[in-house]
Structure 1
Amino acid sequence: MSNLSIFVFESQEVRFVGTAEKLEWVAADIVAILYPQADSRNYSNYLGKVPATWKDHKPIMTPGGKQKMATLYEPGLYYLIGRSDSPIAVPFQQWLYEDVLPSIRRTGKYEIPKLDQQQNNKPTLDELVNFAQKVLAPTRLSPELQTITVVRGVQALYPEIAPLAKELVGAIGEVIATSDRHLSPTAIGELYAERNGLPKPVKPQRVNRVLEAAGLQTKEVEIKTDSTGKQSHKNIWYLTEAGKRWGTVTRDKARTHDKIVEHVRWLPDVLDVIDLSVQV
Protein backbone atom coordinates (compact mmCIF):
# COMPACT_ATOMS: atom_id res chain seq x y z
CA MET A 1 0.00 0.00 0.00
CA SER A 2 1.22 3.52 -0.75
CA ASN A 3 1.84 6.08 1.93
CA LEU A 4 -1.21 7.87 3.29
CA SER A 5 -1.48 11.56 2.34
CA ILE A 6 -3.98 13.86 3.99
CA PHE A 7 -5.08 17.24 2.71
CA VAL A 8 -8.06 19.46 3.38
CA PHE A 9 -11.01 20.72 1.36
CA GLU A 10 -13.02 23.41 3.19
CA SER A 11 -11.87 22.11 6.61
CA GLN A 12 -12.63 18.45 5.77
CA GLU A 13 -9.88 15.84 5.52
CA VAL A 14 -9.45 13.90 2.29
CA ARG A 15 -7.17 10.88 2.49
CA PHE A 16 -5.22 9.94 -0.64
CA VAL A 17 -3.75 6.42 -0.71
CA GLY A 18 -2.74 6.12 -4.35
CA THR A 19 0.18 7.13 -6.50
CA ALA A 20 0.66 9.53 -9.37
CA GLU A 21 0.20 6.57 -11.74
CA LYS A 22 -2.82 5.08 -9.96
CA LEU A 23 -4.96 7.53 -8.03
CA GLU A 24 -6.88 6.14 -5.07
CA TRP A 25 -8.91 7.84 -2.35
CA VAL A 26 -10.62 6.84 0.89
CA ALA A 27 -14.23 6.59 -0.26
CA ALA A 28 -15.78 7.71 3.04
CA ASP A 29 -14.02 11.08 2.80
CA ILE A 30 -15.45 11.71 -0.67
CA VAL A 31 -18.98 10.74 0.38
CA ALA A 32 -18.74 12.94 3.50
CA ILE A 33 -17.94 15.98 1.33
CA LEU A 34 -20.54 15.32 -1.36
CA TYR A 35 -23.28 14.34 1.11
CA PRO A 36 -22.58 16.18 4.42
CA GLN A 37 -26.01 15.22 5.84
CA ALA A 38 -25.55 11.50 5.22
CA ASP A 39 -25.18 9.06 8.12
CA SER A 40 -21.75 7.43 7.94
CA ARG A 41 -23.43 4.07 8.60
CA ASN A 42 -25.19 4.43 5.22
CA TYR A 43 -22.18 5.37 3.09
CA SER A 44 -22.35 1.98 1.40
CA ASN A 45 -25.62 3.10 -0.22
CA TYR A 46 -23.70 5.73 -2.18
CA LEU A 47 -20.83 3.40 -3.06
CA GLY A 48 -22.92 0.38 -3.99
CA LYS A 49 -23.53 1.51 -7.58
CA VAL A 50 -19.88 2.25 -8.30
CA PRO A 51 -18.58 -0.57 -10.60
CA ALA A 52 -16.47 -3.07 -8.70
CA THR A 53 -13.40 -2.49 -10.87
CA TRP A 54 -13.41 1.20 -9.92
CA LYS A 55 -13.20 0.64 -6.15
CA ASP A 56 -11.27 -1.45 -3.67
CA HIS A 57 -10.52 -1.93 0.03
CA LYS A 58 -7.28 -0.96 1.72
CA PRO A 59 -5.96 -1.11 5.30
CA ILE A 60 -5.95 2.50 6.54
CA MET A 61 -4.39 3.73 9.78
CA THR A 62 -7.05 5.49 11.88
CA PRO A 63 -7.15 6.80 15.48
CA GLY A 64 -8.63 3.44 16.43
CA GLY A 65 -5.89 1.46 14.70
CA LYS A 66 -5.54 -0.02 11.22
CA GLN A 67 -8.89 -0.68 9.56
CA LYS A 68 -9.89 -1.96 6.14
CA MET A 69 -11.75 0.82 4.34
CA ALA A 70 -13.41 1.24 0.96
CA THR A 71 -11.39 3.21 -1.58
CA LEU A 72 -12.09 4.74 -4.99
CA TYR A 73 -9.89 4.70 -8.04
CA GLU A 74 -9.94 7.67 -10.40
CA PRO A 75 -12.89 6.40 -12.54
CA GLY A 76 -14.86 5.66 -9.37
CA LEU A 77 -14.17 9.16 -8.09
CA TYR A 78 -15.45 10.69 -11.33
CA TYR A 79 -18.47 8.38 -11.27
CA LEU A 80 -19.46 9.37 -7.73
CA ILE A 81 -19.02 13.10 -8.36
CA GLY A 82 -20.93 12.90 -11.65
CA ARG A 83 -23.94 11.29 -9.97
CA SER A 84 -24.07 13.83 -7.15
CA ASP A 85 -26.56 16.70 -7.14
CA SER A 86 -24.94 18.25 -4.08
CA PRO A 87 -24.19 22.01 -4.38
CA ILE A 88 -20.67 21.26 -3.15
CA ALA A 89 -20.01 18.85 -6.06
CA VAL A 90 -18.97 21.55 -8.56
CA PRO A 91 -16.50 23.45 -6.31
CA PHE A 92 -15.12 20.12 -5.06
CA GLN A 93 -14.71 18.92 -8.63
CA GLN A 94 -13.01 22.17 -9.65
CA TRP A 95 -10.62 21.90 -6.72
CA LEU A 96 -9.73 18.32 -7.65
CA TYR A 97 -9.42 18.83 -11.40
CA GLU A 98 -7.73 22.24 -11.40
CA ASP A 99 -5.54 22.01 -8.30
CA VAL A 100 -5.12 18.60 -6.69
CA LEU A 101 -4.90 16.20 -9.65
CA PRO A 102 -2.47 18.29 -11.72
CA SER A 103 -0.25 18.65 -8.65
CA ILE A 104 -0.28 14.90 -7.95
CA ARG A 105 0.51 14.03 -11.55
CA ARG A 106 3.26 16.63 -11.74
CA THR A 107 4.99 16.06 -8.39
CA GLY A 108 3.56 12.79 -7.07
CA LYS A 109 1.88 14.63 -4.21
CA TYR A 110 -0.54 17.46 -3.44
CA GLU A 111 1.33 20.59 -2.47
CA ILE A 112 -0.52 22.91 -0.10
CA PRO A 113 -0.23 26.57 -1.23
CA LYS A 114 2.58 28.39 0.51
CA LEU A 115 1.86 30.86 3.27
CA ASP A 116 2.37 33.93 1.11
CA GLN A 117 -0.06 32.50 -1.47
CA GLN A 118 -2.65 31.88 1.22
CA GLN A 119 -2.26 35.40 2.58
CA ASN A 120 -2.85 36.85 -0.89
CA ASN A 121 -6.25 35.16 -0.84
CA LYS A 122 -7.31 36.95 2.34
CA PRO A 123 -9.92 39.68 1.98
CA THR A 124 -8.58 43.20 2.07
CA LEU A 125 -9.07 45.28 5.19
CA ASP A 126 -11.76 47.36 3.45
CA GLU A 127 -13.60 44.23 2.34
CA LEU A 128 -13.49 42.78 5.85
CA VAL A 129 -14.69 45.99 7.51
CA ASN A 130 -17.49 46.50 4.97
CA PHE A 131 -18.67 42.92 5.47
CA ALA A 132 -18.61 43.25 9.27
CA GLN A 133 -20.52 46.53 9.17
CA LYS A 134 -23.25 44.99 7.00
CA VAL A 135 -23.63 42.07 9.42
CA LEU A 136 -23.66 44.28 12.53
CA ALA A 137 -25.88 47.07 11.19
CA PRO A 138 -29.21 45.34 11.95
CA THR A 139 -28.15 44.43 15.50
CA ARG A 140 -28.87 46.44 18.63
CA LEU A 141 -25.22 46.82 19.57
CA SER A 142 -24.00 50.37 20.07
CA PRO A 143 -21.58 51.86 17.50
CA GLU A 144 -18.74 51.48 20.00
CA LEU A 145 -19.40 47.78 20.57
CA GLN A 146 -19.77 47.27 16.82
CA THR A 147 -16.35 48.85 16.32
CA ILE A 148 -14.80 46.58 18.94
CA THR A 149 -16.35 43.56 17.21
CA VAL A 150 -14.88 44.63 13.87
CA VAL A 151 -11.43 45.21 15.40
CA ARG A 152 -11.44 41.76 16.99
CA GLY A 153 -12.55 40.20 13.71
CA VAL A 154 -9.67 41.85 11.86
CA GLN A 155 -7.27 40.67 14.57
CA ALA A 156 -8.48 37.08 14.12
CA LEU A 157 -7.55 37.21 10.44
CA TYR A 158 -4.38 39.24 10.93
CA PRO A 159 -2.84 38.14 14.28
CA GLU A 160 0.13 40.41 13.68
CA ILE A 161 -2.01 43.45 14.55
CA ALA A 162 -2.84 42.09 18.04
CA PRO A 163 -0.90 44.85 19.91
CA LEU A 164 -2.66 47.60 17.95
CA ALA A 165 -6.04 45.89 18.33
CA LYS A 166 -5.56 45.70 22.09
CA GLU A 167 -4.82 49.43 22.27
CA LEU A 168 -7.85 50.28 20.12
CA VAL A 169 -10.22 48.13 22.14
CA GLY A 170 -8.84 49.60 25.36
CA ALA A 171 -9.32 53.16 24.11
CA ILE A 172 -12.88 52.50 22.98
CA GLY A 173 -13.58 50.76 26.27
CA GLU A 174 -12.97 54.02 28.09
CA VAL A 175 -16.25 55.39 26.76
CA ILE A 176 -18.50 52.36 26.37
CA ALA A 177 -20.50 49.96 28.47
CA THR A 178 -19.19 48.51 31.69
CA SER A 179 -21.14 47.48 34.73
CA ASP A 180 -20.02 50.56 36.65
CA ARG A 181 -20.61 53.06 33.84
CA HIS A 182 -23.87 52.01 32.21
CA LEU A 183 -26.84 51.41 34.49
CA SER A 184 -30.14 49.58 34.21
CA PRO A 185 -33.40 51.58 34.33
CA THR A 186 -33.80 50.33 37.90
CA ALA A 187 -30.40 51.73 38.87
CA ILE A 188 -31.14 55.02 37.06
CA GLY A 189 -34.33 55.36 39.15
CA GLU A 190 -32.39 54.68 42.33
CA LEU A 191 -29.68 57.19 41.42
CA TYR A 192 -32.28 59.86 40.67
CA ALA A 193 -33.95 59.28 44.06
CA GLU A 194 -30.60 59.48 45.84
CA ARG A 195 -29.64 62.74 44.13
CA ASN A 196 -32.99 64.36 44.83
CA GLY A 197 -33.58 63.07 48.37
CA LEU A 198 -36.63 60.98 47.48
CA PRO A 199 -37.81 58.37 49.99
CA LYS A 200 -38.33 55.77 47.29
CA PRO A 201 -36.60 55.13 43.95
CA VAL A 202 -38.37 55.86 40.70
CA LYS A 203 -39.73 52.61 39.26
CA PRO A 204 -37.98 51.27 36.14
CA GLN A 205 -41.25 51.26 34.18
CA ARG A 206 -41.50 55.01 34.64
CA VAL A 207 -37.83 55.51 33.75
CA ASN A 208 -38.39 53.61 30.52
CA ARG A 209 -41.48 55.68 29.67
CA VAL A 210 -39.58 58.93 30.25
CA LEU A 211 -36.67 57.72 28.12
CA GLU A 212 -39.14 56.80 25.39
CA ALA A 213 -40.90 60.16 25.60
CA ALA A 214 -37.53 61.90 25.31
CA GLY A 215 -36.90 60.08 22.03
CA LEU A 216 -33.97 58.08 23.38
CA GLN A 217 -35.51 54.64 22.93
CA THR A 218 -38.46 52.92 21.26
CA LYS A 219 -40.25 49.73 22.18
CA GLU A 220 -41.68 46.63 20.59
CA VAL A 221 -44.37 44.75 22.50
CA GLU A 222 -43.88 40.99 22.48
CA ILE A 223 -47.08 39.04 23.13
CA LYS A 224 -46.93 35.39 24.23
CA THR A 225 -49.83 33.01 24.75
CA ASP A 226 -49.47 30.03 27.11
CA SER A 227 -51.14 26.63 26.84
CA THR A 228 -54.23 27.91 28.68
CA GLY A 229 -54.70 30.81 26.27
CA LYS A 230 -53.50 33.42 28.73
CA GLN A 231 -51.48 36.23 27.17
CA SER A 232 -48.46 38.01 28.59
CA HIS A 233 -46.86 41.21 27.33
CA LYS A 234 -43.17 42.11 27.35
CA ASN A 235 -41.58 45.37 26.24
CA ILE A 236 -38.42 45.05 24.16
CA TRP A 237 -36.50 48.32 24.09
CA TYR A 238 -34.35 49.64 21.23
CA LEU A 239 -32.02 52.62 21.24
CA THR A 240 -32.74 55.46 18.85
CA GLU A 241 -29.91 57.29 17.10
CA ALA A 242 -30.22 60.04 19.73
CA GLY A 243 -30.23 57.48 22.54
CA LYS A 244 -26.92 55.93 21.42
CA ARG A 245 -25.15 58.97 22.90
CA TRP A 246 -26.10 57.87 26.42
CA GLY A 247 -27.15 54.24 26.03
CA THR A 248 -25.70 50.93 24.91
CA VAL A 249 -26.86 47.35 24.52
CA THR A 250 -25.34 44.63 26.68
CA ARG A 251 -25.71 40.88 26.22
CA ASP A 252 -26.12 38.68 29.30
CA LYS A 253 -27.21 35.15 30.12
CA ALA A 254 -30.83 34.97 31.27
CA ARG A 255 -31.43 34.15 34.92
CA THR A 256 -33.70 31.16 34.31
CA HIS A 257 -32.04 29.57 31.26
CA ASP A 258 -28.90 29.67 29.13
CA LYS A 259 -30.35 31.91 26.43
CA ILE A 260 -28.47 35.16 25.80
CA VAL A 261 -30.67 38.25 26.16
CA GLU A 262 -30.01 41.88 25.34
CA HIS A 263 -30.59 44.83 27.67
CA VAL A 264 -30.45 48.59 27.14
CA ARG A 265 -28.21 50.29 29.70
CA TRP A 266 -27.63 54.00 30.35
CA LEU A 267 -24.85 56.34 31.41
CA PRO A 268 -25.71 58.27 34.59
CA ASP A 269 -25.36 61.46 32.52
CA VAL A 270 -28.69 60.63 30.87
CA LEU A 271 -30.30 62.20 33.96
CA ASP A 272 -29.07 65.55 32.64
CA VAL A 273 -31.39 65.29 29.63
CA ILE A 274 -34.51 63.63 31.09
CA ASP A 275 -36.84 64.68 33.88
CA LEU A 276 -38.15 61.82 35.96
CA SER A 277 -40.46 64.13 37.90
CA VAL A 278 -42.67 64.43 34.84
CA GLN A 279 -45.67 62.11 34.75
CA VAL A 280 -45.84 60.17 31.45
Structure 2
Amino acid sequence: MNQPVAFDFESHHVRVVTDAHGEHWFVAKDIAESLEYRMASDLTRVLATDEVRTHDVRTDAGTREMSIISEPGLYRAIFAAKPHSHEKAEKVERFRRWVTHTVLPSIRKTGSYTAPGAPSPQPRPSPLQVQVLAHLEVARTLASFVPGLKPELAAACALDAIHRDTGLTMEPHRKGLPAAAEPPARLNATQLGQKLGLSARKMNLRLAACGLQGRNEREEWELTDAGREYAEAVPFSRNGHAAYQLLWRPEVLGVLEDAARSSAISVGLG
Protein backbone atom coordinates (compact mmCIF):
# COMPACT_ATOMS: atom_id res chain seq x y z
CA MET A 1 0.00 0.00 0.00
CA ASN A 2 1.05 3.61 -0.53
CA GLN A 3 1.06 6.24 2.20
CA PRO A 4 -2.27 7.93 2.88
CA VAL A 5 -3.70 10.87 1.00
CA ALA A 6 -5.52 13.25 3.34
CA PHE A 7 -8.90 14.79 2.56
CA ASP A 8 -10.74 17.37 4.68
CA PHE A 9 -14.34 16.82 5.73
CA GLU A 10 -15.53 19.88 7.61
CA SER A 11 -13.22 19.92 10.67
CA HIS A 12 -11.92 16.36 10.21
CA HIS A 13 -8.97 14.92 8.27
CA VAL A 14 -9.80 11.64 6.50
CA ARG A 15 -6.81 9.63 5.27
CA VAL A 16 -7.13 7.19 2.38
CA VAL A 17 -4.59 4.60 1.24
CA THR A 18 -4.63 2.65 -2.03
CA ASP A 19 -3.37 -0.91 -2.27
CA ALA A 20 -1.57 -2.62 -5.15
CA HIS A 21 -4.91 -3.69 -6.63
CA GLY A 22 -6.26 -0.14 -6.76
CA GLU A 23 -8.63 -0.70 -3.83
CA HIS A 24 -9.12 2.22 -1.47
CA TRP A 25 -8.89 1.88 2.32
CA PHE A 26 -9.90 4.52 4.87
CA VAL A 27 -8.23 5.10 8.25
CA ALA A 28 -10.83 3.86 10.75
CA LYS A 29 -9.97 6.49 13.39
CA ASP A 30 -10.74 9.30 10.91
CA ILE A 31 -14.07 7.75 9.85
CA ALA A 32 -15.06 7.17 13.48
CA GLU A 33 -14.44 10.81 14.34
CA SER A 34 -16.29 12.05 11.23
CA LEU A 35 -19.35 9.88 11.99
CA GLU A 36 -19.16 10.63 15.74
CA TYR A 37 -18.50 7.09 16.89
CA ARG A 38 -17.19 7.07 20.47
CA MET A 39 -14.02 5.29 19.33
CA ALA A 40 -12.69 3.47 16.26
CA SER A 41 -13.29 0.02 17.79
CA ASP A 42 -17.03 0.80 17.98
CA LEU A 43 -16.95 1.32 14.22
CA THR A 44 -14.86 -1.71 13.26
CA ARG A 45 -17.02 -3.96 15.45
CA VAL A 46 -19.89 -3.73 12.93
CA LEU A 47 -17.66 -4.67 9.97
CA ALA A 48 -16.96 -8.05 8.38
CA THR A 49 -13.47 -9.49 8.85
CA ASP A 50 -12.49 -8.82 5.22
CA GLU A 51 -13.52 -5.15 5.52
CA VAL A 52 -10.89 -4.18 8.12
CA ARG A 53 -7.13 -4.69 8.39
CA THR A 54 -4.12 -2.89 9.85
CA HIS A 55 -1.57 -0.71 8.05
CA ASP A 56 1.52 1.25 9.13
CA VAL A 57 0.68 4.94 8.77
CA ARG A 58 3.16 7.80 9.17
CA THR A 59 1.95 10.39 11.66
CA ASP A 60 3.50 13.45 13.35
CA ALA A 61 4.37 11.15 16.27
CA GLY A 62 6.02 8.57 14.02
CA THR A 63 4.81 5.43 12.23
CA ARG A 64 1.82 3.78 13.89
CA GLU A 65 -0.10 0.62 13.10
CA MET A 66 -3.69 1.71 12.50
CA SER A 67 -6.93 0.02 11.50
CA ILE A 68 -8.13 0.76 7.98
CA ILE A 69 -11.46 -0.17 6.40
CA SER A 70 -12.35 -1.02 2.81
CA GLU A 71 -14.74 0.92 0.59
CA PRO A 72 -17.59 -1.61 1.19
CA GLY A 73 -16.79 -1.43 4.91
CA LEU A 74 -17.11 2.35 4.75
CA TYR A 75 -20.62 2.07 3.31
CA ARG A 76 -21.54 -0.43 6.01
CA ALA A 77 -20.21 1.95 8.69
CA ILE A 78 -22.25 4.84 7.27
CA PHE A 79 -25.39 2.72 7.27
CA ALA A 80 -24.74 1.46 10.80
CA ALA A 81 -24.22 4.97 12.23
CA LYS A 82 -27.10 5.81 14.59
CA PRO A 83 -27.33 9.60 14.93
CA HIS A 84 -29.48 10.70 17.87
CA SER A 85 -30.43 14.11 16.52
CA HIS A 86 -31.53 15.73 13.28
CA GLU A 87 -28.23 17.64 13.08
CA LYS A 88 -26.14 14.47 13.40
CA ALA A 89 -28.32 12.68 10.84
CA GLU A 90 -27.69 15.52 8.40
CA LYS A 91 -23.95 15.28 9.07
CA VAL A 92 -23.96 11.54 8.25
CA GLU A 93 -25.73 12.29 4.95
CA ARG A 94 -23.25 15.10 4.15
CA PHE A 95 -20.39 12.69 4.82
CA ARG A 96 -21.91 10.06 2.51
CA ARG A 97 -22.27 12.57 -0.32
CA TRP A 98 -18.78 13.94 0.31
CA VAL A 99 -17.25 10.45 -0.05
CA THR A 100 -19.19 9.54 -3.21
CA HIS A 101 -19.05 12.98 -4.88
CA THR A 102 -15.62 14.32 -3.84
CA VAL A 103 -13.21 11.77 -2.38
CA LEU A 104 -13.66 8.77 -4.68
CA PRO A 105 -13.95 10.80 -7.93
CA SER A 106 -10.79 12.70 -6.94
CA ILE A 107 -8.81 9.53 -6.24
CA ARG A 108 -9.93 7.89 -9.46
CA LYS A 109 -9.27 11.01 -11.50
CA THR A 110 -5.70 11.48 -10.25
CA GLY A 111 -4.84 7.79 -10.36
CA SER A 112 -3.93 5.21 -7.77
CA TYR A 113 -0.85 3.35 -6.61
CA THR A 114 0.46 0.62 -8.92
CA ALA A 115 3.04 -1.87 -7.67
CA PRO A 116 6.15 -2.45 -9.84
CA GLY A 117 5.48 -5.16 -12.39
CA ALA A 118 1.73 -5.03 -11.85
CA PRO A 119 -0.54 -5.12 -14.89
CA SER A 120 -1.41 -1.77 -16.44
CA PRO A 121 -4.45 -0.25 -14.76
CA GLN A 122 -7.79 -0.30 -16.52
CA PRO A 123 -9.20 3.02 -17.79
CA ARG A 124 -10.48 5.05 -14.89
CA PRO A 125 -14.27 5.44 -14.63
CA SER A 126 -15.82 8.86 -15.08
CA PRO A 127 -17.21 10.76 -12.05
CA LEU A 128 -20.72 9.77 -13.17
CA GLN A 129 -19.72 6.09 -13.26
CA VAL A 130 -18.19 6.45 -9.80
CA GLN A 131 -21.51 7.75 -8.43
CA VAL A 132 -23.46 4.89 -10.01
CA LEU A 133 -20.99 2.24 -8.83
CA ALA A 134 -21.00 3.69 -5.30
CA HIS A 135 -24.79 3.34 -5.06
CA LEU A 136 -24.66 -0.23 -6.36
CA GLU A 137 -21.97 -1.09 -3.81
CA VAL A 138 -24.16 0.34 -1.04
CA ALA A 139 -27.04 -1.86 -2.28
CA ARG A 140 -24.83 -4.98 -2.13
CA THR A 141 -23.70 -4.07 1.38
CA LEU A 142 -27.28 -3.52 2.56
CA ALA A 143 -28.43 -6.83 1.07
CA SER A 144 -25.78 -8.67 3.10
CA PHE A 145 -26.12 -6.54 6.22
CA VAL A 146 -29.90 -6.31 6.79
CA PRO A 147 -31.62 -9.64 7.60
CA GLY A 148 -34.69 -10.17 5.41
CA LEU A 149 -33.76 -7.54 2.81
CA LYS A 150 -34.05 -9.12 -0.64
CA PRO A 151 -31.24 -8.24 -3.10
CA GLU A 152 -33.75 -7.18 -5.77
CA LEU A 153 -35.37 -4.74 -3.34
CA ALA A 154 -31.97 -3.29 -2.41
CA ALA A 155 -31.23 -2.93 -6.15
CA ALA A 156 -34.54 -1.10 -6.70
CA CYS A 157 -33.64 1.34 -3.90
CA ALA A 158 -30.20 1.86 -5.48
CA LEU A 159 -31.84 2.71 -8.82
CA ASP A 160 -33.99 5.32 -7.08
CA ALA A 161 -30.90 6.83 -5.42
CA ILE A 162 -28.99 6.88 -8.74
CA HIS A 163 -31.90 8.70 -10.38
CA ARG A 164 -32.05 11.29 -7.57
CA ASP A 165 -28.27 11.91 -7.58
CA THR A 166 -27.61 11.88 -11.33
CA GLY A 167 -30.92 12.44 -13.11
CA LEU A 168 -30.34 9.31 -15.19
CA THR A 169 -33.50 7.42 -16.19
CA MET A 170 -33.56 4.11 -14.32
CA GLU A 171 -37.02 2.90 -15.35
CA PRO A 172 -35.78 0.52 -18.11
CA HIS A 173 -33.49 -1.16 -15.56
CA ARG A 174 -36.22 -1.31 -12.92
CA LYS A 175 -38.44 -3.22 -15.35
CA GLY A 176 -35.74 -5.88 -15.57
CA LEU A 177 -35.95 -6.61 -11.84
CA PRO A 178 -38.19 -9.36 -10.45
CA ALA A 179 -41.67 -8.31 -9.42
CA ALA A 180 -40.63 -8.57 -5.76
CA ALA A 181 -38.58 -5.40 -6.26
CA GLU A 182 -41.88 -3.50 -6.57
CA PRO A 183 -43.41 -4.46 -3.21
CA PRO A 184 -47.20 -4.16 -2.91
CA ALA A 185 -48.65 -2.25 0.01
CA ARG A 186 -47.56 -3.99 3.20
CA LEU A 187 -48.46 -3.50 6.83
CA ASN A 188 -46.28 -2.10 9.57
CA ALA A 189 -46.79 -2.96 13.24
CA THR A 190 -49.20 -0.06 13.76
CA GLN A 191 -51.40 -1.10 10.81
CA LEU A 192 -51.36 -4.75 11.91
CA GLY A 193 -52.36 -3.72 15.41
CA GLN A 194 -55.29 -1.69 14.13
CA LYS A 195 -56.72 -4.83 12.53
CA LEU A 196 -56.52 -6.75 15.81
CA GLY A 197 -57.27 -3.91 18.22
CA LEU A 198 -53.71 -3.74 19.56
CA SER A 199 -51.19 -0.92 19.92
CA ALA A 200 -48.00 -1.03 17.84
CA ARG A 201 -46.03 -1.96 20.97
CA LYS A 202 -48.30 -4.89 21.83
CA MET A 203 -48.33 -6.00 18.20
CA ASN A 204 -44.53 -6.08 18.14
CA LEU A 205 -44.56 -8.17 21.32
CA ARG A 206 -47.15 -10.50 19.78
CA LEU A 207 -45.02 -10.94 16.65
CA ALA A 208 -42.00 -11.67 18.86
CA ALA A 209 -43.97 -14.17 20.96
CA CYS A 210 -44.90 -16.00 17.75
CA GLY A 211 -41.20 -16.26 16.86
CA LEU A 212 -41.46 -13.97 13.84
CA GLN A 213 -39.12 -11.20 15.00
CA GLY A 214 -36.67 -10.40 17.77
CA ARG A 215 -34.48 -7.61 19.09
CA ASN A 216 -30.91 -7.29 17.75
CA GLU A 217 -27.93 -5.88 19.63
CA ARG A 218 -29.07 -2.32 18.74
CA GLU A 219 -32.51 -3.00 20.26
CA GLU A 220 -34.13 -2.87 16.80
CA TRP A 221 -36.72 -5.39 15.63
CA GLU A 222 -35.23 -7.91 13.24
CA LEU A 223 -36.87 -10.75 11.31
CA THR A 224 -36.31 -14.36 12.34
CA ASP A 225 -36.08 -17.15 9.76
CA ALA A 226 -39.79 -17.84 10.32
CA GLY A 227 -40.63 -14.15 9.99
CA ARG A 228 -39.01 -13.84 6.56
CA GLU A 229 -41.86 -15.95 5.17
CA TYR A 230 -44.31 -13.19 6.04
CA ALA A 231 -42.34 -9.91 5.94
CA GLU A 232 -39.51 -7.96 4.40
CA ALA A 233 -37.00 -5.45 5.76
CA VAL A 234 -37.55 -2.39 3.57
CA PRO A 235 -35.03 0.51 3.48
CA PHE A 236 -36.25 4.05 3.98
CA SER A 237 -34.75 7.48 4.62
CA ARG A 238 -35.98 9.96 7.22
CA ASN A 239 -34.37 13.33 7.98
CA GLY A 240 -31.29 12.27 6.05
CA HIS A 241 -30.87 9.05 8.08
CA ALA A 242 -31.04 5.69 6.31
CA ALA A 243 -32.72 2.85 8.17
CA TYR A 244 -35.14 -0.01 7.51
CA GLN A 245 -38.58 -1.08 8.71
CA LEU A 246 -40.35 -4.42 8.83
CA LEU A 247 -43.43 -4.59 6.60
CA TRP A 248 -45.78 -7.57 6.84
CA ARG A 249 -48.05 -9.34 4.38
CA PRO A 250 -51.71 -9.71 5.40
CA GLU A 251 -51.20 -13.50 5.63
CA VAL A 252 -49.41 -13.01 8.96
CA LEU A 253 -52.76 -12.10 10.55
CA GLY A 254 -53.82 -15.75 10.22
CA VAL A 255 -50.67 -16.86 12.05
CA LEU A 256 -51.30 -14.38 14.85
CA GLU A 257 -54.96 -15.38 15.19
CA ASP A 258 -54.08 -19.10 15.25
CA ALA A 259 -51.49 -18.41 17.97
CA ALA A 260 -54.06 -16.43 19.99
CA ARG A 261 -56.61 -19.27 19.70
CA SER A 262 -54.03 -21.86 20.75
CA SER A 263 -53.09 -19.75 23.74
CA ALA A 264 -56.74 -19.35 24.73
CA ILE A 265 -57.34 -23.11 24.46
CA SER A 266 -54.26 -23.81 26.59
CA VAL A 267 -55.46 -21.39 29.25
CA GLY A 268 -58.93 -23.01 29.18
CA LEU A 269 -57.53 -26.50 29.55
CA GLY A 270 -55.30 -25.35 32.36
Q: Report the TM-score range of the alignment, normalised by the length of the smaller protein.
A: 0.3 to 0.5
Q: What TM-score results when the alignment is normalised by the length of structure 2?
A: 0.37
Higher CA-based Rg: 1
Q: What TM-score results when the alignment is normalised by the length of structure 1?
A: 0.35
